[in-house]
Structure 1
Amino acid sequence: MNAPQPTARAFTDNERRHFLRYTDTGQWPLLRRFPISADLHTDLLAQMLASTPETVRALVRSLHDETRATAVRMLSDDRYREAVADLPFRPGDRIVAVGDSITADRLGWFELLATSIGLAGGPTAGLINLSISGNTTADVLERFDLLEAAKPSRVLLMLGTNDARAHGRAGSYRMATAHETERNLRALVDLVTRDLNAEITVITPPAVDQHRADAFFSDVPLRWHASDVAEVADVVTKTAPGAVDLHRAMSAPGRGDLLESDGVHPTPAGQEFILSRIVEHLRAR
Protein backbone atom coordinates (compact mmCIF):
# COMPACT_ATOMS: atom_id res chain seq x y z
CA MET A 1 0.00 0.00 0.00
CA ASN A 2 1.41 3.36 -0.99
CA ALA A 3 2.01 5.89 1.76
CA PRO A 4 -0.16 9.02 1.52
CA GLN A 5 1.56 11.97 -0.10
CA PRO A 6 1.88 15.14 1.98
CA THR A 7 -0.40 17.96 1.00
CA ALA A 8 1.44 20.93 -0.50
CA ARG A 9 1.45 23.88 1.86
CA ALA A 10 -0.02 27.15 0.67
CA PHE A 11 2.43 30.06 0.86
CA THR A 12 1.84 33.78 0.58
CA ASP A 13 4.07 35.78 -1.73
CA ASN A 14 5.63 37.41 1.35
CA GLU A 15 6.54 33.97 2.70
CA ARG A 16 7.96 32.97 -0.68
CA ARG A 17 9.96 36.17 -0.86
CA HIS A 18 11.35 35.59 2.63
CA PHE A 19 12.40 32.04 1.69
CA LEU A 20 14.06 33.22 -1.52
CA ARG A 21 15.83 36.00 0.33
CA TYR A 22 17.95 33.40 2.11
CA THR A 23 17.92 30.46 -0.31
CA ASP A 24 20.01 29.98 -3.45
CA THR A 25 20.00 26.35 -4.55
CA GLY A 26 22.87 27.19 -6.89
CA GLN A 27 25.17 27.21 -3.85
CA TRP A 28 24.09 23.85 -2.45
CA PRO A 29 27.19 21.60 -2.50
CA LEU A 30 25.58 18.70 -4.35
CA LEU A 31 24.28 21.01 -7.06
CA ARG A 32 27.63 22.78 -7.40
CA ARG A 33 29.43 19.47 -7.76
CA PHE A 34 26.76 18.21 -10.18
CA PRO A 35 25.48 21.41 -11.83
CA ILE A 36 22.04 21.83 -13.33
CA SER A 37 20.71 24.65 -15.51
CA ALA A 38 19.42 27.95 -14.17
CA ASP A 39 15.93 27.02 -15.37
CA LEU A 40 16.02 23.80 -13.37
CA HIS A 41 17.05 25.76 -10.26
CA THR A 42 14.04 28.01 -10.79
CA ASP A 43 11.78 24.99 -11.30
CA LEU A 44 13.14 23.43 -8.10
CA LEU A 45 12.42 26.56 -6.09
CA ALA A 46 8.96 26.79 -7.62
CA GLN A 47 8.22 23.19 -6.62
CA MET A 48 9.46 23.81 -3.08
CA LEU A 49 7.24 26.89 -2.75
CA ALA A 50 4.16 25.43 -4.50
CA SER A 51 4.48 28.24 -6.99
CA THR A 52 5.35 28.92 -10.62
CA PRO A 53 8.75 29.66 -12.16
CA GLU A 54 7.41 33.05 -13.26
CA THR A 55 6.54 33.96 -9.66
CA VAL A 56 9.96 32.83 -8.43
CA ARG A 57 11.73 34.92 -11.09
CA ALA A 58 9.61 37.97 -10.24
CA LEU A 59 10.29 37.67 -6.51
CA VAL A 60 14.04 37.18 -7.00
CA ARG A 61 14.07 40.16 -9.35
CA SER A 62 12.30 42.27 -6.70
CA LEU A 63 15.04 41.38 -4.20
CA HIS A 64 17.75 42.34 -6.68
CA ASP A 65 15.95 45.61 -7.40
CA GLU A 66 15.75 46.41 -3.69
CA THR A 67 19.46 45.69 -3.27
CA ARG A 68 20.31 47.95 -6.20
CA ALA A 69 18.14 50.78 -4.85
CA THR A 70 19.83 50.49 -1.45
CA ALA A 71 23.29 50.54 -3.02
CA VAL A 72 22.39 53.65 -5.04
CA ARG A 73 21.23 55.39 -1.88
CA MET A 74 24.36 54.36 0.06
CA LEU A 75 26.61 55.63 -2.72
CA SER A 76 25.01 59.05 -2.43
CA ASP A 77 26.91 59.37 0.86
CA ASP A 78 30.39 60.79 0.18
CA ARG A 79 32.08 58.83 2.96
CA TYR A 80 30.72 55.48 1.79
CA ARG A 81 31.43 56.20 -1.87
CA GLU A 82 35.04 57.15 -1.09
CA ALA A 83 35.46 54.05 1.09
CA VAL A 84 34.25 51.80 -1.74
CA ALA A 85 36.66 53.52 -4.13
CA ASP A 86 39.53 52.91 -1.67
CA LEU A 87 38.93 49.17 -1.24
CA PRO A 88 42.10 47.09 -1.74
CA PHE A 89 40.66 45.15 -4.67
CA ARG A 90 42.63 44.99 -7.90
CA PRO A 91 41.47 44.17 -11.43
CA GLY A 92 41.37 40.41 -11.77
CA ASP A 93 40.99 39.76 -8.03
CA ARG A 94 38.42 37.17 -6.97
CA ILE A 95 36.71 38.17 -3.73
CA VAL A 96 34.79 35.25 -2.26
CA ALA A 97 32.36 35.48 0.64
CA VAL A 98 31.84 32.41 2.80
CA GLY A 99 29.18 32.33 5.48
CA ASP A 100 25.67 31.42 6.52
CA SER A 101 22.28 33.02 5.92
CA ILE A 102 23.51 36.41 7.15
CA THR A 103 25.84 36.55 4.14
CA ALA A 104 23.66 34.46 1.79
CA ASP A 105 20.90 37.09 2.20
CA ARG A 106 19.97 38.50 -1.22
CA LEU A 107 19.51 41.86 0.58
CA GLY A 108 22.70 41.30 2.54
CA TRP A 109 26.00 43.04 2.98
CA PHE A 110 27.95 41.11 0.35
CA GLU A 111 25.31 41.59 -2.34
CA LEU A 112 25.25 45.29 -1.46
CA LEU A 113 29.04 45.39 -1.72
CA ALA A 114 29.08 43.72 -5.12
CA THR A 115 26.32 46.00 -6.40
CA SER A 116 28.02 49.11 -4.99
CA ILE A 117 31.32 48.28 -6.69
CA GLY A 118 29.52 47.68 -9.98
CA LEU A 119 27.60 50.95 -9.78
CA ALA A 120 30.67 52.93 -8.70
CA GLY A 121 32.66 51.67 -11.64
CA GLY A 122 35.37 50.28 -9.38
CA PRO A 123 38.04 47.68 -10.20
CA THR A 124 36.76 44.76 -12.21
CA ALA A 125 37.26 42.29 -9.36
CA GLY A 126 35.06 39.21 -9.38
CA LEU A 127 32.79 39.01 -6.34
CA ILE A 128 31.45 35.53 -5.61
CA ASN A 129 29.05 34.63 -2.83
CA LEU A 130 29.45 31.02 -1.68
CA SER A 131 27.40 31.43 1.49
CA ILE A 132 24.68 28.93 2.43
CA SER A 133 21.93 29.34 5.00
CA GLY A 134 22.43 27.19 8.08
CA ASN A 135 26.14 26.57 7.52
CA THR A 136 28.48 25.94 10.43
CA THR A 137 32.27 26.11 10.40
CA ALA A 138 32.28 22.31 9.92
CA ASP A 139 30.00 22.61 6.87
CA VAL A 140 32.43 25.00 5.21
CA LEU A 141 35.33 22.68 5.92
CA GLU A 142 33.38 19.89 4.23
CA ARG A 143 32.92 21.97 1.09
CA PHE A 144 36.42 23.42 0.99
CA ASP A 145 36.84 21.89 -2.49
CA LEU A 146 34.20 24.33 -3.76
CA LEU A 147 36.00 27.27 -2.20
CA GLU A 148 39.23 26.12 -3.80
CA ALA A 149 37.46 25.82 -7.17
CA ALA A 150 36.43 29.50 -6.91
CA LYS A 151 40.15 30.44 -6.97
CA PRO A 152 39.86 33.31 -4.47
CA SER A 153 42.51 35.95 -4.02
CA ARG A 154 40.70 37.16 -0.88
CA VAL A 155 38.13 35.39 1.31
CA LEU A 156 35.65 37.26 3.50
CA LEU A 157 34.57 34.75 6.12
CA MET A 158 31.71 35.26 8.58
CA LEU A 159 30.71 32.12 10.47
CA GLY A 160 29.72 31.06 13.96
CA THR A 161 26.03 31.90 14.38
CA ASN A 162 25.04 28.34 13.51
CA ASP A 163 27.87 26.82 15.54
CA ALA A 164 26.02 28.36 18.50
CA ARG A 165 22.62 27.07 17.33
CA ALA A 166 21.07 24.69 19.88
CA HIS A 167 18.56 21.90 19.24
CA GLY A 168 16.06 20.15 21.47
CA ARG A 169 13.17 21.01 23.77
CA ALA A 170 13.98 19.31 27.08
CA GLY A 171 17.71 19.46 26.39
CA SER A 172 19.81 21.93 24.47
CA TYR A 173 22.60 20.64 22.26
CA ARG A 174 24.83 23.06 20.38
CA MET A 175 25.98 22.34 16.85
CA ALA A 176 29.58 22.89 17.95
CA THR A 177 31.41 23.51 21.18
CA ALA A 178 33.65 26.54 21.50
CA HIS A 179 36.65 24.23 21.18
CA GLU A 180 35.29 22.71 17.96
CA THR A 181 34.56 26.13 16.51
CA GLU A 182 38.11 27.28 17.29
CA ARG A 183 39.60 24.17 15.71
CA ASN A 184 37.50 24.60 12.56
CA LEU A 185 38.28 28.30 12.23
CA ARG A 186 42.00 27.71 12.62
CA ALA A 187 41.79 25.03 9.96
CA LEU A 188 39.91 27.32 7.57
CA VAL A 189 42.33 30.22 8.05
CA ASP A 190 45.26 27.86 7.48
CA LEU A 191 43.69 26.31 4.38
CA VAL A 192 42.85 29.68 2.83
CA THR A 193 46.21 31.29 3.50
CA ARG A 194 48.49 28.30 2.86
CA ASP A 195 46.65 26.01 0.43
CA LEU A 196 45.00 28.78 -1.58
CA ASN A 197 47.64 31.46 -0.97
CA ALA A 198 44.78 33.92 -0.51
CA GLU A 199 44.20 36.76 1.94
CA ILE A 200 41.43 36.30 4.49
CA THR A 201 39.27 38.70 6.44
CA VAL A 202 37.46 37.03 9.34
CA ILE A 203 34.28 38.59 10.74
CA THR A 204 32.57 37.77 14.02
CA PRO A 205 28.90 36.77 14.05
CA PRO A 206 26.53 39.60 14.96
CA ALA A 207 24.94 39.72 18.40
CA VAL A 208 21.60 38.00 19.07
CA ASP A 209 18.57 39.65 20.70
CA GLN A 210 17.59 37.08 23.35
CA HIS A 211 14.06 38.38 23.93
CA ARG A 212 13.16 38.32 20.25
CA ALA A 213 14.82 34.95 19.64
CA ASP A 214 13.01 33.32 22.58
CA ALA A 215 9.64 34.58 21.37
CA PHE A 216 10.19 33.72 17.70
CA PHE A 217 11.47 30.17 18.23
CA SER A 218 9.21 29.27 21.17
CA ASP A 219 7.25 26.63 19.20
CA VAL A 220 10.19 24.79 17.63
CA PRO A 221 13.03 22.68 19.10
CA LEU A 222 15.58 25.27 18.07
CA ARG A 223 17.28 27.97 20.10
CA TRP A 224 19.94 30.64 19.99
CA HIS A 225 21.40 31.86 23.26
CA ALA A 226 23.00 35.27 23.20
CA SER A 227 25.72 34.09 25.58
CA ASP A 228 26.64 31.22 23.23
CA VAL A 229 26.94 33.57 20.26
CA ALA A 230 29.05 35.93 22.39
CA GLU A 231 31.31 32.98 23.27
CA VAL A 232 31.72 32.18 19.56
CA ALA A 233 32.54 35.82 18.83
CA ASP A 234 35.27 35.66 21.48
CA VAL A 235 36.62 32.51 19.83
CA VAL A 236 36.72 34.31 16.46
CA THR A 237 38.66 37.29 17.81
CA LYS A 238 41.02 34.94 19.65
CA THR A 239 41.62 32.87 16.52
CA ALA A 240 41.89 35.89 14.19
CA PRO A 241 43.01 38.91 16.25
CA GLY A 242 42.46 41.25 13.31
CA ALA A 243 38.85 40.17 12.82
CA VAL A 244 36.02 42.63 12.19
CA ASP A 245 34.19 42.61 15.54
CA LEU A 246 30.57 42.96 14.48
CA HIS A 247 29.36 41.34 17.66
CA ARG A 248 30.67 44.14 19.86
CA ALA A 249 29.50 46.82 17.43
CA MET A 250 25.97 45.44 17.21
CA SER A 251 25.74 44.89 20.97
CA ALA A 252 26.06 48.61 21.62
CA PRO A 253 23.01 50.42 23.07
CA GLY A 254 20.52 51.74 20.52
CA ARG A 255 21.11 48.97 17.97
CA GLY A 256 17.71 47.28 18.38
CA ASP A 257 16.64 48.23 14.86
CA LEU A 258 19.41 46.12 13.33
CA LEU A 259 17.81 42.69 13.87
CA GLU A 260 14.69 41.09 12.43
CA SER A 261 11.83 39.79 14.59
CA ASP A 262 13.67 36.47 15.00
CA GLY A 263 16.44 38.24 16.90
CA VAL A 264 19.11 36.53 14.79
CA HIS A 265 19.07 37.85 11.22
CA PRO A 266 19.95 41.47 10.47
CA THR A 267 17.32 43.76 9.02
CA PRO A 268 18.16 45.56 5.77
CA ALA A 269 19.35 48.43 7.98
CA GLY A 270 21.45 45.93 9.91
CA GLN A 271 22.99 44.67 6.68
CA GLU A 272 23.92 48.24 5.75
CA PHE A 273 25.54 48.65 9.16
CA ILE A 274 27.51 45.42 8.69
CA LEU A 275 28.70 46.48 5.25
CA SER A 276 29.82 49.90 6.50
CA ARG A 277 31.93 48.25 9.21
CA ILE A 278 33.48 45.76 6.81
CA VAL A 279 34.23 48.39 4.16
CA GLU A 280 35.89 50.68 6.69
CA HIS A 281 37.94 47.75 8.01
CA LEU A 282 39.12 46.72 4.54
CA ARG A 283 39.88 50.31 3.61
CA ALA A 284 41.97 50.82 6.75
CA ARG A 285 43.89 47.59 6.19
Structure 2
Amino acid sequence: MKMSKEQMHWMMKVFQPERTVASLPGAVSLTEQARAALLGLDLDYYSTQLAKLTAGAKTSARMLLAAPDVGAMIDKLPLRKNARIFAFGDSRTSDPQSWAVILQELILAQRPNDNISVVASAVSGDTTTHGLVRISEVVAGSPDWVLFFLGLNDARTQGPEPTKTIVHHEETARNLAELRSRVMRETEARCLWITPAAVNENQVSKHWALSHFGVRFRNEDIAQVATAMRSLGDPVVDLFERLDASSLTELLMEDGLHFTQAGQQRVALEIVRSWSELL
Protein backbone atom coordinates (compact mmCIF):
# COMPACT_ATOMS: atom_id res chain seq x y z
CA MET A 1 0.00 0.00 0.00
CA LYS A 2 1.35 3.39 -0.99
CA MET A 3 1.00 5.76 1.94
CA SER A 4 0.15 9.44 1.76
CA LYS A 5 2.42 12.03 3.38
CA GLU A 6 -0.02 12.28 6.29
CA GLN A 7 0.06 8.52 6.80
CA MET A 8 3.86 8.39 6.68
CA HIS A 9 4.06 11.26 9.17
CA TRP A 10 1.71 9.38 11.49
CA MET A 11 3.84 6.24 11.28
CA MET A 12 6.96 8.22 12.20
CA LYS A 13 5.37 9.80 15.27
CA VAL A 14 3.60 6.70 16.58
CA PHE A 15 5.99 3.79 15.96
CA GLN A 16 9.65 3.44 16.90
CA PRO A 17 10.76 -0.10 15.94
CA GLU A 18 14.01 0.14 17.88
CA ARG A 19 12.02 0.57 21.09
CA THR A 20 9.52 -2.17 20.31
CA VAL A 21 12.25 -4.80 19.83
CA ALA A 22 14.65 -3.37 22.40
CA SER A 23 14.63 -6.57 24.49
CA LEU A 24 15.86 -8.73 21.60
CA PRO A 25 19.61 -9.48 21.23
CA GLY A 26 19.86 -7.93 17.78
CA ALA A 27 18.08 -4.71 18.67
CA VAL A 28 21.32 -2.79 19.19
CA SER A 29 22.31 -3.46 15.59
CA LEU A 30 19.01 -2.30 14.10
CA THR A 31 20.16 0.23 11.52
CA GLU A 32 18.28 3.30 10.41
CA GLN A 33 17.63 1.56 7.10
CA ALA A 34 16.13 -1.43 8.92
CA ARG A 35 13.93 0.84 11.05
CA ALA A 36 12.67 2.62 7.93
CA ALA A 37 11.96 -0.71 6.23
CA LEU A 38 9.95 -1.98 9.20
CA LEU A 39 7.73 1.07 8.88
CA GLY A 40 7.44 0.62 5.12
CA LEU A 41 9.25 3.89 4.51
CA ASP A 42 12.03 4.99 2.20
CA LEU A 43 15.34 5.54 4.02
CA ASP A 44 15.78 9.10 2.74
CA TYR A 45 12.28 10.04 3.82
CA TYR A 46 12.75 8.39 7.22
CA SER A 47 16.05 10.16 7.90
CA THR A 48 14.78 13.54 6.73
CA GLN A 49 11.55 13.35 8.71
CA LEU A 50 13.27 12.10 11.85
CA ALA A 51 15.56 15.12 11.71
CA LYS A 52 12.54 17.41 11.21
CA LEU A 53 10.71 15.89 14.18
CA THR A 54 13.76 16.30 16.39
CA ALA A 55 14.18 19.88 15.22
CA GLY A 56 10.52 20.46 16.04
CA ALA A 57 11.16 19.55 19.67
CA LYS A 58 13.99 22.08 19.81
CA THR A 59 11.72 24.72 18.30
CA SER A 60 9.04 23.99 20.89
CA ALA A 61 11.59 24.40 23.68
CA ARG A 62 12.68 27.78 22.30
CA MET A 63 9.06 28.91 22.02
CA LEU A 64 8.35 27.92 25.61
CA LEU A 65 11.44 29.66 26.94
CA ALA A 66 10.42 32.82 25.10
CA ALA A 67 7.20 32.89 27.11
CA PRO A 68 7.03 34.70 30.47
CA ASP A 69 7.95 32.70 33.58
CA VAL A 70 8.89 29.42 31.85
CA GLY A 71 12.62 29.93 32.40
CA ALA A 72 11.94 30.63 36.07
CA MET A 73 9.88 27.44 36.25
CA ILE A 74 12.78 25.41 34.87
CA ASP A 75 15.09 26.99 37.45
CA LYS A 76 12.66 25.98 40.20
CA LEU A 77 12.42 22.32 39.21
CA PRO A 78 13.54 20.22 42.21
CA LEU A 79 16.56 18.76 40.43
CA ARG A 80 20.11 18.50 41.70
CA LYS A 81 23.14 18.67 39.45
CA ASN A 82 23.69 15.43 37.49
CA ALA A 83 20.10 14.37 38.13
CA ARG A 84 18.61 11.56 36.02
CA ILE A 85 14.96 11.80 35.01
CA PHE A 86 13.13 8.87 33.45
CA ALA A 87 10.04 9.54 31.33
CA PHE A 88 8.11 6.27 31.47
CA GLY A 89 5.33 5.89 28.97
CA ASP A 90 3.82 4.76 25.69
CA SER A 91 3.57 6.28 22.18
CA ARG A 92 2.75 9.71 23.58
CA THR A 93 6.24 9.64 25.13
CA SER A 94 8.20 7.65 22.52
CA ASP A 95 7.30 10.22 19.83
CA PRO A 96 10.58 11.74 18.50
CA GLN A 97 9.24 15.20 19.38
CA SER A 98 7.58 14.19 22.64
CA TRP A 99 7.23 16.22 25.81
CA ALA A 100 10.21 14.29 27.20
CA VAL A 101 12.46 15.46 24.36
CA ILE A 102 11.17 19.01 24.77
CA LEU A 103 11.81 18.80 28.52
CA GLN A 104 15.41 17.77 27.89
CA GLU A 105 15.87 20.70 25.52
CA LEU A 106 14.35 23.11 28.05
CA ILE A 107 16.69 21.97 30.81
CA LEU A 108 19.75 22.00 28.54
CA ALA A 109 19.01 25.56 27.47
CA GLN A 110 18.09 26.97 30.88
CA ARG A 111 20.43 24.99 33.12
CA PRO A 112 23.36 24.09 30.84
CA ASN A 113 25.85 23.50 33.64
CA ASP A 114 23.71 21.13 35.70
CA ASN A 115 24.26 18.03 33.53
CA ILE A 116 20.66 16.86 33.97
CA SER A 117 19.49 14.05 31.68
CA VAL A 118 16.02 13.00 30.59
CA VAL A 119 15.74 9.37 29.49
CA ALA A 120 12.63 8.38 27.53
CA SER A 121 11.73 4.82 28.51
CA ALA A 122 8.66 4.41 26.34
CA VAL A 123 7.18 1.87 23.93
CA SER A 124 4.24 2.43 21.62
CA GLY A 125 1.17 0.48 22.70
CA ASP A 126 2.39 -0.34 26.19
CA THR A 127 -0.06 -0.78 29.05
CA THR A 128 0.70 -0.63 32.76
CA THR A 129 1.10 -4.42 32.62
CA HIS A 130 3.91 -4.01 30.08
CA GLY A 131 5.27 -1.34 32.39
CA LEU A 132 5.69 -3.87 35.19
CA VAL A 133 8.14 -5.72 32.94
CA ARG A 134 10.05 -2.64 31.79
CA ILE A 135 10.31 -0.82 35.13
CA SER A 136 13.45 -2.82 35.94
CA GLU A 137 15.28 -0.77 33.28
CA VAL A 138 14.36 2.41 35.12
CA VAL A 139 15.29 1.03 38.53
CA ALA A 140 18.68 -0.03 37.18
CA GLY A 141 19.28 3.49 35.86
CA SER A 142 19.51 5.09 39.32
CA PRO A 143 16.78 7.69 38.71
CA ASP A 144 16.23 10.82 40.76
CA TRP A 145 12.74 11.25 39.34
CA VAL A 146 10.38 8.97 37.42
CA LEU A 147 7.69 10.73 35.41
CA PHE A 148 4.91 8.24 34.65
CA PHE A 149 2.75 8.98 31.59
CA LEU A 150 1.28 5.50 31.21
CA GLY A 151 -2.14 3.88 31.34
CA LEU A 152 -3.92 5.20 28.27
CA ASN A 153 -3.64 1.85 26.49
CA ASP A 154 -5.14 0.08 29.49
CA ALA A 155 -8.37 1.87 28.54
CA ARG A 156 -8.19 0.72 24.92
CA THR A 157 -10.96 -1.50 23.60
CA GLN A 158 -11.03 -3.70 20.49
CA GLY A 159 -13.74 -4.19 17.91
CA PRO A 160 -16.79 -2.21 16.81
CA GLU A 161 -18.82 -3.14 19.90
CA PRO A 162 -16.29 -3.68 22.69
CA THR A 163 -17.32 -5.19 26.00
CA LYS A 164 -14.10 -4.74 27.99
CA THR A 165 -10.93 -2.69 28.16
CA ILE A 166 -7.52 -4.24 27.49
CA VAL A 167 -6.73 -3.94 31.21
CA HIS A 168 -9.54 -3.69 33.75
CA HIS A 169 -9.44 -0.44 35.73
CA GLU A 170 -9.00 -2.30 39.03
CA GLU A 171 -5.98 -4.11 37.61
CA THR A 172 -4.65 -0.79 36.31
CA ALA A 173 -4.84 0.59 39.85
CA ARG A 174 -2.94 -2.43 41.18
CA ASN A 175 -0.32 -2.10 38.44
CA LEU A 176 0.21 1.60 39.16
CA ALA A 177 0.59 0.87 42.86
CA GLU A 178 3.15 -1.84 42.09
CA LEU A 179 5.12 0.46 39.76
CA ARG A 180 5.21 3.03 42.54
CA SER A 181 6.25 0.40 45.07
CA ARG A 182 9.14 -0.78 42.89
CA VAL A 183 10.48 2.74 42.52
CA MET A 184 10.06 3.56 46.22
CA ARG A 185 11.54 0.27 47.38
CA GLU A 186 14.48 -0.05 45.01
CA THR A 187 15.56 3.54 44.38
CA GLU A 188 15.67 6.91 46.10
CA ALA A 189 13.67 8.51 43.29
CA ARG A 190 10.48 10.53 43.58
CA CYS A 191 7.48 9.91 41.33
CA LEU A 192 5.42 12.37 39.31
CA TRP A 193 2.27 11.00 37.68
CA ILE A 194 0.77 12.42 34.50
CA THR A 195 -2.81 11.39 33.83
CA PRO A 196 -3.70 10.40 30.28
CA ALA A 197 -5.52 13.14 28.42
CA ALA A 198 -8.91 12.47 26.89
CA VAL A 199 -9.22 11.53 23.22
CA ASN A 200 -11.60 12.35 20.38
CA GLU A 201 -13.56 9.10 20.35
CA ASN A 202 -15.13 9.69 16.94
CA GLN A 203 -11.82 10.45 15.22
CA VAL A 204 -10.18 7.39 16.78
CA SER A 205 -12.95 5.11 15.49
CA LYS A 206 -12.64 6.47 11.94
CA HIS A 207 -8.85 6.70 11.61
CA TRP A 208 -7.40 4.72 8.71
CA ALA A 209 -4.93 2.74 10.86
CA LEU A 210 -6.62 2.58 14.26
CA SER A 211 -9.96 1.48 12.79
CA HIS A 212 -8.20 -1.19 10.72
CA PHE A 213 -7.04 -2.84 13.94
CA GLY A 214 -10.34 -2.27 15.71
CA VAL A 215 -8.90 0.20 18.21
CA ARG A 216 -11.44 2.20 20.20
CA PHE A 217 -11.31 4.39 23.30
CA ARG A 218 -13.99 5.73 25.61
CA ASN A 219 -13.18 8.75 27.73
CA GLU A 220 -15.13 7.29 30.63
CA ASP A 221 -12.58 4.45 30.72
CA ILE A 222 -9.65 6.87 30.51
CA ALA A 223 -11.17 8.75 33.44
CA GLN A 224 -10.85 5.57 35.52
CA VAL A 225 -7.09 5.54 34.89
CA ALA A 226 -6.83 9.18 35.93
CA THR A 227 -8.75 8.42 39.12
CA ALA A 228 -6.36 5.59 39.97
CA MET A 229 -3.36 7.90 39.55
CA ARG A 230 -4.88 10.56 41.78
CA SER A 231 -5.32 7.99 44.55
CA LEU A 232 -1.61 7.14 44.78
CA GLY A 233 -0.78 10.07 47.05
CA ASP A 234 2.05 11.43 44.88
CA PRO A 235 2.12 14.68 42.87
CA VAL A 236 -0.09 14.51 39.78
CA VAL A 237 -0.18 16.52 36.55
CA ASP A 238 -3.85 16.14 35.71
CA LEU A 239 -4.02 16.43 31.93
CA PHE A 240 -7.42 14.74 31.92
CA GLU A 241 -8.83 17.73 33.78
CA ARG A 242 -6.68 20.48 32.26
CA LEU A 243 -7.09 19.68 28.57
CA ASP A 244 -10.75 20.14 27.71
CA ALA A 245 -12.46 19.28 24.44
CA SER A 246 -11.74 22.65 22.85
CA SER A 247 -8.05 22.40 23.76
CA LEU A 248 -7.76 18.87 22.40
CA THR A 249 -9.11 19.93 19.02
CA GLU A 250 -5.97 22.03 18.58
CA LEU A 251 -3.56 19.58 20.22
CA LEU A 252 -4.38 16.16 18.76
CA MET A 253 -3.46 14.69 15.38
CA GLU A 254 -6.10 13.59 12.90
CA ASP A 255 -6.33 10.25 14.71
CA GLY A 256 -7.85 11.98 17.74
CA LEU A 257 -5.35 10.20 19.97
CA HIS A 258 -1.74 11.30 19.53
CA PHE A 259 -0.36 14.78 20.09
CA THR A 260 0.76 17.18 17.40
CA GLN A 261 3.97 19.12 18.02
CA ALA A 262 1.81 21.85 19.59
CA GLY A 263 0.18 19.21 21.75
CA GLN A 264 3.49 17.85 22.98
CA GLN A 265 4.60 21.42 23.68
CA ARG A 266 1.49 21.99 25.79
CA VAL A 267 2.06 18.74 27.71
CA ALA A 268 5.65 19.79 28.45
CA LEU A 269 4.41 23.15 29.72
CA GLU A 270 1.79 21.59 32.00
CA ILE A 271 4.38 19.21 33.45
CA VAL A 272 6.92 21.96 34.06
CA ARG A 273 4.27 24.20 35.62
CA SER A 274 3.10 21.57 38.11
CA TRP A 275 6.56 20.17 38.81
CA SER A 276 8.05 23.59 39.54
CA GLU A 277 5.49 24.13 42.30
CA LEU A 278 6.72 21.15 44.34
CA LEU A 279 9.01 21.61 47.31
Give the TM-score, by structure 2 length. 0.90
1:149 alignment partner, one of 140, 146, 158: 140
User: CA offset at residue 50 of structure 1?
Assistant: 3.5
Residue 227 of structure 1 aligns with an amino acid whose one-letter code is: E
Q: Where does 1:2-17 land on structure 2 (aligned, <5 Å)?
A: 9-17=1-9
Residue 116 of structure 1 aligns with an amino acid whose one-letter code is: L
| RMSD, aligned α-carbons | 2.1
Change (3 A) 1:169 1:215: closer
CA–CA separation in structure 2 for the residues paired with 1:51 and 1:154: 36
CA–CA separation in structure 2 for the residues paired with 1:32 and 1:52: 25
Structure 2 gap ranges (5+): none
Q: Which residue of 1 aligns with 2:274?
A: 281
Q: Which residue of 1 aligns with 2:203?
A: 212
Q: Could you say which structure has the larger radius of gyration? A: 1
The one of the two structures with greater contact order (alpha-carbon pairs below 8 A, sep at least 6) is 2
Q: Where does 1:28-177 land on structure 2 (aligned, <5 Å)?
A: 28=20, 30-32=21-23, 34=25, 36-37=27-28, 40-122=30-112, 123-177=114-168
May I ask how many residue pairs the two structures share in their alignment? 275
Q: Which residue of 2 aligns with 1:182?
A: 173
Aligned residues of 2:193 and 2:234 also touching (Cα < 8 A) = no
> CA offsets, 1:1-20, max 9 Å, x none?
xxxxxxxx333454333222
| SS of structure 2 residue aligned to 1:129 | strand
Q: Which stretches of structure 1, 4 residues or more, deviate above 6 A after TM superposition?
A: none
CA–CA separation in structure 1 for the residues paired with 2:47 and 2:4: 15
User: CA offset at residue 170 of structure 1?
Assistant: 4.2
Give the TM-score, by structure 1 length. 0.88
Q: Which residue of 1 aligns with 2:237?
A: 244
User: CA offset at residue 219 of structure 1?
Assistant: 5.1
CA–CA separation in structure 2 for the residues paired with 1:274 and 1:283: 14
Change (3 A) 1:36 1:258: closer
| SS of structure 1 residue aligned to 2:228 | helix
| SS of structure 2 residue aligned to 1:266 | coil
| SS of structure 2 residue aligned to 1:162 | helix
User: CA offset at residue 223 of structure 1?
Assistant: 0.6
CA–CA separation in structure 1 for the residues paired with 2:162 and 2:240: 26
CA–CA separation in structure 2 for the residues paired with 1:68 and 1:47: 27
Change (3 A) 1:142 1:37: closer
CA–CA separation in structure 2 for the residues paired with 1:25 and 1:41: 10
Residue 166 of structure 1 aligns with an amino acid whose one-letter code is: T
| SS of structure 1 residue aligned to 2:22 | helix
Aligned residues of 1:27 and 1:131 also touching (Cα < 8 A) = yes
| SS of structure 2 residue aligned to 1:61 | helix
Aligned residues of 1:210 and 1:263 also touching (Cα < 8 A) = yes
Identical aligned residues as a percent: 26
Structure 1 gap ranges (5+): 1-8
2:11 alignment partner, one of 11, 19, 26: 19
CA–CA separation in structure 1 for the residues paired with 2:143 and 2:37: 33
Aligned residues of 2:192 and 2:234 also touching (Cα < 8 A) = no
User: CA offset at residue 267 of structure 1?
Assistant: 2.5
Stretch deviating more after TM superposition (62-71 or 127-136) = 62-71
Q: Which residue of 2 aligns with 1:4?
A: none
User: CA offset at residue 150 of structure 1?
Assistant: 2.3
Q: Which residue of 1 aligns with 2:215?
A: 222
Change (3 A) 1:218 1:59: closer
CA–CA separation in structure 2 for the residues paired with 1:49 and 1:68: 24
> CA offsets, 1:169-207, max 9 Å, x none?
344331111110000000000101111221111111111
User: CA offset at residue 115 of structure 1?
Assistant: 1.2
